[in-house]
A = this chain, B = another copy of it.
Amino acid sequence: MIVEIVATGTELLLGQINNTNTPFLSQKLNELGFDVLYHSTVGDNKTRMTEVLSNALSRSDIIITSGGLGPTQGDITKEVTAQLLNRPLFLHEESVTHMAYLFAKRQLPMPENNLRQAMIPEGAYVIKNERGTAPGVILEHDNKIIIHLPGPPHELEWMYEHAVIPYLKTKFGLQGAIVSRVLHTYGIGESSLEEKIKDLVISQSNPTIALLARPGEIIIRLTAKGSASIEATELIDELERKIRHKIANYIWGLDNDTIEANIGKTLTEKKFTVALAESCTGGLVTSRITDISGSSDYLVGSIVCYTNRIKTDFIDVTPQILAEHGAVSQETACLMATGIRRKFAASIGIGITGIAGPTGATPTKPVGTVFIAIDGPAGIQCQHHTFNGQRTDIKYRISQAALHMLREYTLSL
């Protein structure tokens, strides 16, 4: 079955918003085993939308549209389909009731033009919208399927998961199950990673393996089909074992794991606390740690020591060390880690000092140079890295390195 995704909306053609619905649907449909071969975008114009939809009907079996189901005169998707397939629109009473309920709940009067949203092409299957007012629509016509979903991503995604997948599974007798799993890696580049698992990548068919670059990490996505969920899961488990056999040291998490949550879990379990002295990262590492609800259980606090005065007066970095080795040095990073650990009475102290650029480089310390030290129950450790990129990229990469270093340190305790 060939699938085409048609995004509608003049604001997309004007480049005013990014289209996230099309990649979302593409990824999900591919996982289900469908071939998405075309993406199209067209504005809120009857003639051109008709042309794009009839072109899609001529080359694809399933057409999924996003957008144009709202209450305004510019929302014309259902009208165009109704005319194209000669299926008059009628008022769908259940959708009217649902909308009336939503407006009543917010104690607002329902504008008359909202009734447009409840107009449905004859013979269509209506998808109730649990996240908004506009219902979705599934139409079968001459062995083709047209599915209209609303534009707002949280509405579209909900409908896709709760109505479109079950419909497609029943319709096409997709007895089987699709299971996918993401392996998060850190500390290895995309091409080195590919090289190390090359034989597995080349021989892939089921499960499939995809390597994808994400900010600060490479993820490996495994997708397996099986007659039942348990079978697909077993295939994934087996492949994951083979991959781990080759690159276990680089894999730190699965699926929706984040490094921030991962650290939080370990620190909570092991009842350790952490404090940071951040210089070049300016508080970014601490801020990322506090992205996790409950982080006050293990984060004592931090000092952003952006000037040497704060380093000497508040974290006991000695002026001698600064003079002798410089603010960006292993010696300073270690004193920062030890100093903040003692001052804030935390089990683990972290010190970060580097050059985020674009200025501040010296002949021996280029932009991107950083020293990250950790002091704790297992003694003191220091890493030296040099990162590339713009100032904010470098800050982010340093924060990744610090969080991963903290993860390994805590796991070893």
A-to-B contact residues, CB < 8 Å? 7, 12-20, 22-28, 30, 36-43, 45, 48, 51-52, 55, 59, 210, 212, 276, 278, 280-287, 289-291, 293-296, 299-307, 309-310, 314, 344, 356-359, 391-392, 395
Contacts and interface: CB of A to CB of B under 8 A. Distances in A.
Contacts of A290: 280-284, 304, 306, 356, 395
Given A16-B210, A26-B15, A291-B395, A41 B38 contact: yes
Given A26-B15, A55-B55, A282 B287 contact: yes
Given A18-B18, A38-B48, A39-B41, A304 B304 contact: yes
A39 B15 CA distance: 11
Chain A interface main SS type:
mixed
Contacts of A395: 287, 290-291
B293 A286 contact: no
27 contacts: A7-B39, A12-B39, A13-B37, A14-B36, A15-B23, A15-B25, A15-B27, A15-B28, A15-B36, A16-B23, A22-B41, A37-B45, A39-B39, A39-B40, A39-B41, A282-B286, A282-B287, A290-B304, A294-B359, A295-B306, A296-B307, A300-B307, A300-B309, A301-B304, A302-B306, A303-B304, A310-B344
6 A-B pairs closest in CB distance: A283-B283, A282-B290, A15-B27, A15-B26, A39-B41, A283-B286
Nearest to A344: B310
A301 B310 contact: yes
Q: Which of A7, A30, A40, A295 has the largest number of chain B CB atoms within 10 A?
A: A40
Contacts of A39: 7, 12-13, 39-42
A21 to B, nearest CB: 10
Contacts of A25: 15
A299 B293 contact: no
A303 B283 CA distance: 9
A302 B290 CA distance: 15
Contact of A18 (B23, B48, B299): B23
A212 B17 CA distance: 9
A291 B14 contact: no
A38 B36 contact: no
A19 B23 contact: yes
A43 B15 CA distance: 22
A20 B23 contact: no
A398 to B, nearest CB: 11
A42 B37 contact: yes
B40 A13 contact: no
Contact of A15 (B14, B15, B30, B301): B30
Given A38-B42, A40-B41, A304-B304, 10 more contacts: A7-B39, A13-B30, A37-B45, A38-B48, A282-B286, A282-B291, A282-B295, A283-B290, A291-B391, A294-B359
B30 A37 contact: no
Contacts of A16: 23, 27, 210, 212
Nearest to A55: B55
A203 B370 CA distance: 55
Given A14-B27, A36-B14, A284-B287, A310 B304 contact: no
